[in-house]
Amino acid sequence: MPTGLKFKKKVILPDAVYNDALVAKFINQVMLNGKKSVAQKIVYGAFDIIKEQTKKEPLDVFKLAIQNVSPTLEVKPKRVGGATYQVPMEVKGNRKLSLAMKWIIASSRNKKGKAMKNRLAEELIEASENRGNSVKKKENMHKMAEANRAFAHFAS
């Protein structure tokens, strides 16, 4: 790739119901095979369930869940000499959000037996209360980064 070319970041427009760009990005992550209307029904259905169960504003629960699942450290493999080390590195802003969203969606997809909107609502509520599979995944990543702290000097 030639140097000097800058990557233009695509601007995601806010969603129609909550007028929030984060919700629109979440809908895009939930979407499979380009079926955005199905993804919107799932996310908005999950938000309705959250409102019924918690009696709180679903957008606040959603943002708290994303904040609780967002990792601060991750490990990246780095090859030094002949060995590959797991080097802990800080996670930057947009990657934090995308990892949190991916983990919440993946853990709700792995649950079986209920409709997707129910599983997603359940996972968002659990994540906002600092429990659930997606929070466990974040904690595991932090533990791994802490265990490999000795290799932090390889980070560049």
Confidence class for position 109, pLDDT limits 50, 70, 90: very high
pLDDT digits (tens, 9 = 90+) for 67-106: 999 999 999 998 988 999 889 999 988 899 999 999 999 9
**How much is the pTM?**
0.89
pLDDT digits (tens, 9 = 90+) for 1-18: 567 788 888 888 999 899
Asked if the model's pLDDT at residue 46 lies above 70, the reply is yes
More confident residue, 147 or 4: 147
The CATH architecture that domain 21-154 belongs to is Orthogonal Bundle (1.10)
3-state secondary structure the chain: CCCCCCCCCCCCCCCCCCCCHHHHHHHHHHCCCCCHHHHHHHHHHHHHHHHHHHCCCHHHHHHHHHHHHCCCEEEEEEEECCEEEEEEEECCHHHHHHHHHHHHHHHHHHCCCCCHHHHHHHHHHHHHCCCCHHHHHHHHHHHHHHHCHHHHHHCC
Confidence class for position 56, pLDDT limits 50, 70, 90: very high
pLDDT for 149 equals 86
